[in-house]
Structure 1
C-alpha cells in the first residue's frame, strides 16, 4: 500500500491531534536506516526523537527482549516484583551524576517521569511551586504541559494549566539571552511573585530539546545549584532527551561540576521500548509513602531487559566517544558551508546532540529555511526534524551506532539540501 493511501486511512481513523512529521509510513528499520511502505530507503536522523541512540533493533537489545518474553512479559512490579528491575535501578544509581546514595523508580513515558519527579519533590519539601524555563519541553500530560514553556502546539486549546508553575527565560546566545538574564528573572520572581520558601523544585534540561538544542551554560547550572541549596529547593535535571550517550556522556549533567537532586530519563534508556525513570537522592526518593509511586506498566520487564542491554552496548561500543567523534564531524561539515549558506547562523551542541539555526543578517529567525532544508532532505532520502521556539532550527538525532559509510552519505545529502534550500531562499528574495 502506498504512503498516500495509508495517510488517507490514517486521517479517517486517527485523532487529528496526533501529528506526524513526515509523509512516510515505516515498514522496516535497521540501525540508522528505515524503509517505507513503498520500499524506499531513508537515513534516519530523527531516531524516533532521540529514542534509538543504539540504533533501530540493535541485535543485543532484541536478544534481551526475546529472552525476557520467554520468561514472562508482565506481572506488574507492585504485585510480583522481578530481579531485573532491581538490577537496573542499581546500575542507574551508580551511573547517575552525584556523589551521594541514590534510589530509582521506573515508569513508562518521559512525561510520567517528570510528573513523578514533581510529586517526589513536593512530598520531600512540603512545598508546591515549581520553576521551569521558557522553551523547555516536559511532556503532554497536564503537569508536563504546565512546565513546558511553549504554547503552540502543546498548550493551545486545553484550558487552564495546573497552578504554581513559573517560567523564566532560558539562555539563547543567538537571541541575546544570557545566563545572567535567566538568574535575574528568578530573582525577580522571588521578589514579585513567589516566595522561595514555597518553591519545591527548579526543573531544567541540561540541553533544551524541543526548545532548540541550546546547552545550559555552566555558570547557570552552578548558580542554580547554589540557589537551590540556599533556599532548600530541589534541582531536577530533565535528561529525557539528553541521556544515554547523546551528548558524549552517559548523562548530560556530567558536563557540569554540580549534580541534580533528581534526574528524569526515558527515550534512549530502553532503545525503543517504553521505559522511563527517576533517579535521585535516596532520602528524597523515599519521601512518598508506599503506593504513592508506580503504575501498572511502570518498569515493564521487557523495557527493563532492553535497558540493561542498552547500557552494555553503550559501554562495549564506547558510544560516548563515538558521539563526540560524530558530532565533531557533523559540526565541521556544517561550519564548512556557512560561507555558502550565511543564513546558517549558529551550529551548536555537545557530543552528537547537534543543531543548526537559521537567522538572516538582520537577526530575524528563518523558520521557512529550516523547513525547506528538512523537505529537501526528505526528497533525497534523509529524515530530519525541526525544533526551536521560532521553528528555525534543524536538530540532528541519528543513532550513535550509525555506520561510517551511511553517515558520510547522510552528510552529502545534507550538503545538497542546504544548497537547494539556499537557492530557493534567494529566488524568493529576488521575486520579492
Structure 2
C-alpha cells in the first residue's frame, strides 16, 4: 500500500467548502485530491484564496484555451456589454451572432454550404445533432462507441459509454442506440494488434478490425443500416482516456456512413478548436463529417456550444426534409456577449495558439516518452498537440491495471498522482480507467511545460519508490 495523505486546506478555504456543501447539489465530482478554492486566475496560473499559485494543466476541462482571463477577450466582453447583453437570437437579428457563425462555417471541415445552431453547453449540441439527424432521415437507430462521453442529458447519456455511474438509475434512455468498440489499440477488446488488424477493406477503404464488428456483426445480425439515422464519434476520445484512433478509422466511418446515407457526427467538443495543433482533430486525416459539434474552448470560459452541419440537414429552404421553424431553439443560444467573446477567442487561437499547441505539444509528448523509459508504471503516452494522455499500469508487459485502491484511505492510483501533483502546485486531471490527461491552456510556454514535467516526474518517482 502507498502511504498517502490528501492535501490539507486552510481554515479559510475549509469555511468556503463548508458553505458550498450546504447549498450546492451533491452530484459534483470534486475530490479531496484537488481541494482547490479559487480566488483568481490569469494565463496558465490559478491562485487560491490563500495566495498559492498553481500551474493549470487542466484548463477547466479543456475550456480556457486562450488562457484564463485573456485581456483581449475581457475587453471584447466589456465593449459588447455596453451595447447589448441579451435579446433572443431565435427571434431577432444581431451581428455578433452572424459574425461568429460566418467564422465557424469558414474554419470547420467540409467544402459545402453549412448552417449553425448555438446552444449553451456541449450536451445541448449533442441533443441538437441527434434531433437534426433523426428529423432529416426519419430513421430510429443510432450508433456510438464504447468509452465515449457525450454529456449527461438523456440524449448524452444514451450515446455515452464511459462510466456506469453516469447512466445508473436513469432508465429508460432513448431507445435504439447501439455501442460498438472504439479503436483503443493499447487495449484492443478483440486481442488484435494494429496495423495487422487491417484484414480487408470496405468499398476501397482500409477497415480496421473493430469497425468490421460494425459492418459484419451489427449491420448483418442486429440492425439494418438503412434504419440507422446517425453515427456519433469523438475523433479523439476525451473522458475515455485521450485515445487517438488509427488514421484509417475516420475515413472508413465516412465511407460506411456514405454507403448507407447515415448522418456522420463528429463530437469535437473537447478535441476541437486548436487543441490538437489543427482547428479540429479530424483535420489530421482530412475527413469532414456531416455535422460537427464544438463547445468548451469556443468562448474562453463563457457557456456556449455550436452545432455546425450541412445546410441540407438544417435548413428547409435548402432541403424540405430538414427541420422546420419551431422544431428546435434556445433562449440563451447565440447570446451577443458570448458570441463576441467567442469571435475574439477564435481570432486569438488562429493568430497565436494553433501553432503553439502543435509545437509545445510535440515537445511535451517527446519528453513524456522519454519519461516513460525511466518509469515502469507508464504504459503508454498518446495524443496530438496539447491533448495528451499518459496511461498508468501496474505491469507494462501485461498492461494490468492497479487495484482500485492503492492506499489505506481507499484512493486509486490516479487520485494519488493527481493529489501529489496538486501538493506541488500542478493541476492535473485523470481520464479513463487509469490515465492522466494533459490539456493545458493553448498559450502555455516551454517553461510552463518544463515545470509541469518536472513535478510529474518527481511524483511518479516517489510513487514508484513506495511501490517497490
Same fold (TM over 0.5): yes
Write out per-residue CA displacement over residues 160-184 of structure 1, whole angstroms, 9 at most, x where no aligned residue. 2111111000011111246733212
Measure how far apart 1:12 and its partner are. 2.2
1:18 aligns with 2:28: yes
| Aligned-partner Cα distance in 1 for 2:105–2:466 | 51
1:56 aligns with 2:68: yes
* Paired residues of 2:185 and 2:245 also in contact (CA < 8 A): no
DSSP 3-state at the match of 2:162: coil
For 1:109-258, what aligned pairs fall within 5 Å after superposition? 109-177=121-189, 180-187=208-215, 188-258=217-287
| Aligned-partner Cα distance in 2 for 1:403–1:327 | 10
| Aligned-partner Cα distance in 1 for 2:296–2:93 | 23
1:399 aligns with 2:459: no
| Aligned-partner Cα distance in 1 for 2:380–2:135 | 41
* Paired residues of 1:200 and 1:234 also in contact (CA < 8 A): yes
Match of 1:290 among 313, 325, 329: 325
The residue that corresponds to 2:301 in the other structure is: 272
The residue that corresponds to 2:361 in the other structure is: 327
1:364 aligns with 2:400: yes
| Aligned-partner Cα distance in 2 for 1:352–1:263 | 20
| Aligned-partner Cα distance in 1 for 2:170–2:375 | 40
DSSP 3-state at the match of 2:208: helix
| Aligned-partner Cα distance in 2 for 1:362–1:216 | 21
| Aligned-partner Cα distance in 2 for 1:421–1:333 | 19
Once the two structures are overlaid, the 10-residue window that deviates more, 136-145 or 9-18, is 9-18
For 1:280-319, what aligned pairs fall within 5 Å after superposition? 280-286=309-315, 287-317=322-352, 319=353
Measure how far apart 1:408 and its partner are. 2.2
| Aligned-partner Cα distance in 2 for 1:146–1:423 | 42
1:66 aligns with 2:78: yes
* Paired residues of 1:248 and 1:350 also in contact (CA < 8 A): yes
Computed over aligned residues only, the root mean square deviation of the Cα atoms, in angstroms, reads 1.5
| Aligned-partner Cα distance in 1 for 2:423–2:163 | 30
Measure how far apart 1:280 and its partner are. 1.1
| Aligned-partner Cα distance in 1 for 2:259–2:373 | 47
DSSP 3-state at the match of 1:349: strand
Once the two structures are overlaid, the 10-residue window that deviates more, 357-366 or 338-347, is 357-366
* Paired residues of 1:369 and 1:422 also in contact (CA < 8 A): no
Decide which structure has greater helix share: 1
The residue that corresponds to 2:418 in the other structure is: 374
Write out per-residue CA displacement over residues 3-31 of structure 1, whole angstroms, 9 at most, x where no aligned residue. 22222222222121122252111110001
* Paired residues of 1:205 and 1:216 also in contact (CA < 8 A): no
* Paired residues of 1:54 and 1:399 also in contact (CA < 8 A): yes
1:418 aligns with 2:460: yes
State TM-score, norm by structure 1. Answer: 0.95
| Aligned-partner Cα distance in 2 for 1:26–1:81 | 37
Q: Which runs of 5+ in 1 are unaligned?
A: 427-432
| Aligned-partner Cα distance in 2 for 1:306–1:60 | 9
Q: Which runs of 5+ in 2 are unaligned?
A: 1-10, 193-206, 316-321, 405-411
* Paired residues of 1:98 and 1:259 also in contact (CA < 8 A): yes
| Aligned-partner Cα distance in 2 for 1:262–1:216 | 20
* Alignment size in residue pairs: 423
DSSP 3-state at the match of 1:106: strand
The residue that corresponds to 1:5 in the other structure is: 15
| Aligned-partner Cα distance in 2 for 1:88–1:82 | 11
State TM-score, norm by structure 2. Answer: 0.88
The residue that corresponds to 1:383 in the other structure is: 427
| Aligned-partner Cα distance in 1 for 2:466–2:26 | 31
